Amino acid sequence: MYLGIDLGTSEIKTLVIDAAGEIVAASSVKLDVQRPQPHYAEQEPHSWWLALEQAIDELRQQAGARWQQIRAIGLSGQMHGAVLLDRENQVLRPCILWNDTRSAAECEELTQRAADLHSVAGNLAMPGFTAPKLLWVARHEPEIFSRIASVLLPKDYLRWQMCGEKISDMSDAAGTLWLDIARRDWSDALLAACGLNRDQMPRLTEGSQPGGRLQADVARRWGLQEGIVIAGGGGDNAASAVGLGAIEPGDAFISLGTSGVLFAVNDRFRPAPASAVHAFCHALPDRWHQMSVMLTAASSLRWLCDLLNATETDLLAEVAALSETVQRSAPLFLPYLSGERTPHNDPQATGAFHGLTHATNRAALAYSVLEGVAFGIADGLQALRAAGTELESCSLTGGGARSGFWAQLIADTLDLPIVTHQGGEAGGALGAARLGWLADGGDPAEVCRKPAVLRRYLPNALRHHHLQRRLDHFRLLYQQQRDARASGF
């Protein structure tokens, strides 16, 4: 039995798989995001640990006597967050999250300071990454910056609580802008550009290799054996890839979670910063991947539900009942509620509905949101193609994968077959458990099998034609917004 822990933005998920790779127990606990000012997104690291303890209690009850059979633990987590510890290992401030966009000015500063940033780190400097956050802290909170002894990524804060060691894996570390991604090691030059050094960084390991062992007090509290291995783990998307069996060049998937990700596996480091495409290490050795990332995906539907005081289930049912005539005349939605990464690298971008009339009802608004996210993914696919990556089909995972209507809409928009899998919503937690299995000596060919296909969604050429016209309008609306901001509006 293997335990997977996935620290997301909106919830922490845990699950247990058996030696056949089947999920035998799962639990989750919701998390809150604090937004004290515009462009800010923060969480208290200790709240993650409290949520994990609660999730473990629930999982342990579900697993029953089989709980004692757990041999290893894997970790997955939201990327880019900055957990700052002092010499006494006290948290210095709330964690600045991946979707926090306050550090736009520091991105320009970092680009000027580090001439080889793009070639070494493989990515543009964006506010979501960890390095600009530290430059922001140095500028705006110098007293805190002066006390930093360690910088940890979110999942690695949980690891430190579990094993007492500061360790990270290659895939998560690749999202800091401090990693030499081709060499899979910290870059002293990029760290120095932020006033840091490798002594303040966690030790690195591959995601499928051991990365600590469960210490005695936590083992007693959780009812597990002391010293069981904790895998290096992975950033949420790399771990999700392992869960979906996307580990070979040509494998690809779309994740519809808080953010939206289009992930493609590569056999070598293939940076494409000009397209705002991310190039990171995979969670397995000798593998890399490219990603396009939109900052607001399924979370835009949750935002609309909160505004309308409606449930996702009700809204999705109403959308599915809409005629194609209504869909083609629905407002257009720009899903930039937290700015945008790929392809725009624009932290100032904002969300918008365009084309509202008296006839617009909540079902039409919900359709517009689903379509706007699909269009954002289409922009990401265009960026990947510009970077030389062609896809033949995509798996779909994350909470949004539960909607067959949304899956078909994405297939029609991208003109690509979309495949959902049994247990696909488990995402990073399943991948984390598999990484734990690998760290315990599992064979990748056995452990990383693709889950059974749940359903295939084939693109409809006529709907693709109509959606392409709306996509062209969608892109024009964003450009008009950007031009207006450049003119001072």
- DSSP H helices in 64-103: none
Q: How many CB atoms lie within 10 A of CB 197?
A: 11
Is 79 annotated to bind ligand?
yes
Q: How many CB atoms lie within 10 A of CB 1?
A: 19
Write phi, then psi, for 13 (nearest 5 degrees). Answer: -115, 140
Q: How many CB atoms lie within 10 A of CB 6?
A: 31
Active-site annotation holder among 172, 236, 379, 440: 236
Could you confirm whether 116 is annotated as catalytic? no
Amino acid at residue number 200: Q
Distance CA 20, CA 434 (A): 11
Distance CA 437, CA 445 (A): 12
Is 282 annotated to bind ligand?
no
Distance CA 83, CA 80 (A): 10
Distance CA 258, CA 294 (A): 9
What DSSP state is assigned to residue 403?
A: -
Residue 420 and residue 454 in contact, taking contact as beta carbons nearer than 8 Å: yes
Q: What is the number of residues in the chain?
A: 489
Distance CA 235, CA 241 (A): 10
CA angle 229, 230, 232 (to 5 degrees): 130
- Angle between helix 362-386 and helix 404-414 axes, rounded to 10 deg: 40
Calculate Rg over the CA atoms of the chain.
21
Number of H helices, E strands in the chain: 18, 24
User: What residues are paired with 351 via a beta bridge?
Assistant: none
Q: What distance lies between CA 103 and its chain's CA centroid? A: 19
Amino acid at residue number 130: T
The 3-state DSSP composition of the chain as helix, strand, coil percent (nearest 5) reads 45, 20, 35
Query: Known binding site for substrate: residues?
Result: 79-80
Instruction: Kindly list the catalytic residues.
Output: 236
Query: Known binding site: residues?
Result: 79-80
